[in-house]
Amino acid sequence: MTTARLLWQPDLSARRKPLLCDFHAQAEAAAGRAFADHSELHAWSVDHAADFWPLVWDFCGLEGEKGSIALVPDDDPMQVRFFPEARLNIVDTFLKNADCREAVVFIGEDGRRMAWTRAELKREVEQLAVALRDAGIEAGDHVAGYVPNMPQTVAAMLATASLGAVWSSCAPESGPDVVVDRFGQIEPKLMFAADGYFYNGKTFDTRAAIAEVASRVPSIGQIVVWPYASGAEDLPEGMIAYDAFKHEDAQALACRPMSFRDPLYVMFSSGTTGKPKCIEHSGGGTLLRMLVEQQLHCDLRPGDRMFYYTTCNWMMWNWQVAALASEAAIVLFDGNPMYPGISRLFDLAEAEKVTHFGISAKYIDASQKRRNRPVETHNLDDLRVVLSTGSPLSPEGFAHVYADWKADVQLASICGGTDILGCFIGGCPVLPVHQGEIQAPMLGLDVATLNDAGEPVEGAAGELVCRNAHPSMPTRFLNDPENARYRSSYFETYLNIWRQGDFTIRTEHGGYVVLGRSDATLNPGGVRIGTAEIYRQLDKIDEVSDAVVVGQNFDNDVRVVLFVQTAEGSVLDDALTNRVKTEIRKNASPRHVPTKIISVADIPRTKSGKTAELAVRDVVNKQPVRNLSGLANPQALELFADHPELQV
CA pair distance 370, 380, nearest whole angstrom: 19
Choose the weakest-confidence range: 41-45, 474-478, 498-502: 498-502
Arithmetic mean of pLDDT, 364-380: 93
Q: From 119, 111, 100, 152, select the one nearest 351 (Cα to Cα).
A: 111
- Cα dihedral value 217, 220, 223, 228, nearest 10: -40
* Strand-strand pairing, 190-194 and 142-146: parallel
Does pLDDT of 19 surpass 60?
Answer: yes
CA pair distance 532, 104, nearest whole angstrom: 36
Cis peptide before 340 (omega within 30 of 0): yes
Does pLDDT of 1 surpass 50?
Answer: no
- Residues of CATH 3.40.50.12780 domain(s) within the chain? 6-87+262-517
CA pair distance 609, 632, nearest whole angstrom: 8
Residue 132 exposed, middle or buried by CB count within 10 Å (0-12, 13-18, 19+): buried
CA 172, 174, 177, 181 torsion: positive or negative?
Answer: negative
Supply the DSSP symbol for 438.
Answer: B
Helices (H), 296-343: 315-321
| Angle (CA) 64 312 533, round 5° | 125
* Helix 574-587 × helix 176-186 angle, to 10°: 40
Arithmetic mean of pLDDT, 216-232: 91
CB atoms within 10 A of CB 391: 25
Segment holding 287, helix H or strand E:
helix 283-291
CATH superfamily of 6-87+262-517: ANL, N-terminal domain (3.40.50.12780)
Segment holding 593, helix H or strand E:
none
Q: Are 187 and 142 in contact, with CB atoms under 8 Å apart? A: yes
CA pair distance 236, 222, nearest whole angstrom: 12
Q: From 332, 338, 335, 336, select the one nearest 319 (Cα to Cα).
A: 332
Strands (DSSP E) contained in 38-150 are 71-72, 81-82, 102-108, 113-117, 142-146
Residue 466 exposed, middle or buried by CB count within 10 Å (0-12, 13-18, 19+): buried
Choose the weakest-confidence range: 100-109, 423-432, 542-551: 542-551
Arithmetic mean of pLDDT, 163-189: 94
One-letter amino acid at 84 equals P
CA pair distance 512, 521, nearest whole angstrom: 21
pLDDT of residue 528: 65
pLDDT of residue 625: 84
Q: CATH fold of 102-245, please?
A: Rossmann fold (3.40.50)
- In the chain the first and final C-alpha atoms are separated, in Å, by 30
Q: Are 358 and 320 in contact, with CB atoms under 8 Å apart? A: yes
CB atoms within 10 A of CB 504: 28
pLDDT of residue 590: 87
CB atoms within 10 A of CB 582: 12
- Cα dihedral value 612, 617, 619, 625, nearest 10: -60
CA pair distance 494, 450, nearest whole angstrom: 9
Does pLDDT of 648 surpass 90?
Answer: no
Work out the pLDDT band at 537, boundaries 50, 70, 90: confident
CA pair distance 492, 132, nearest whole angstrom: 41
Q: How far is CA 150 from CA 104, 153, 314, 415, 472, in A?
A: 9, 5, 14, 25, 25
CA pair distance 306, 466, nearest whole angstrom: 28
Choose the weakest-confidence range: 210-214, 323-327, 540-544: 540-544
CA pair distance 360, 353, nearest whole angstrom: 20
- Average pLDDT in the chain: 92
Q: From 181, 151, 147, select the one nearest 167 (Cα to Cα).
A: 147
Q: From 67, 70, 107, 105, select the one nearest 86 (Cα to Cα).
A: 67
DSSP-based helix, strand, coil % in the chain, nearest 5 = 35, 25, 40
Please tell me the pTM assigned to this model.
Answer: 0.86
Work out the pLDDT band at 526, boundaries 50, 70, 90: low
Q: Tell me the CB-side half-sphere exposure of residue 14, using CA atoms within 13 A.
A: 10
CA pair distance 591, 258, nearest whole angstrom: 37
Does pLDDT of 518 surpass 90?
Answer: no
Choose the weakest-confidence range: 68-77, 374-383, 457-466: 457-466
Q: From 382, 502, 384, 481, select the one nearest 433 (Cα to Cα).
A: 384
- Residues of CATH 3.30.300.30 domain(s) within the chain? 529-646
Does pLDDT of 539 surpass 80?
Answer: no
Neighbouring-strand partners of residue 399: none
Which phi and psi angles does 583 have, rounded to 5°?
-65, -40
Q: How many residues are listed for the chain in this entry? A: 648
pLDDT of residue 319: 97
Q: If you compute the radius of gyration of the chain from its CA atoms, what whole number of angstroms results? A: 24
Q: Are 7 and 402 in contact, with CB atoms under 8 Å apart? A: yes
One-letter amino acid at 227 equals P
CA pair distance 203, 310, nearest whole angstrom: 19
Q: Are 493 and 539 in contact, with CB atoms under 8 Å apart? A: no
Neighbouring-strand partners of residue 503: 463, 516
Q: Tell me the CB-side half-sphere exposure of residue 512, using CA atoms within 13 A.
A: 31
One-letter amino acid at 202 equals K
- In a 3-state reduction of DSSP, which class is residue 2? coil
The CATH code of domain 529-646 reads 3.30.300.30
Arithmetic mean of pLDDT, 450-468: 92
Arithmetic mean of pLDDT, 538-555: 88
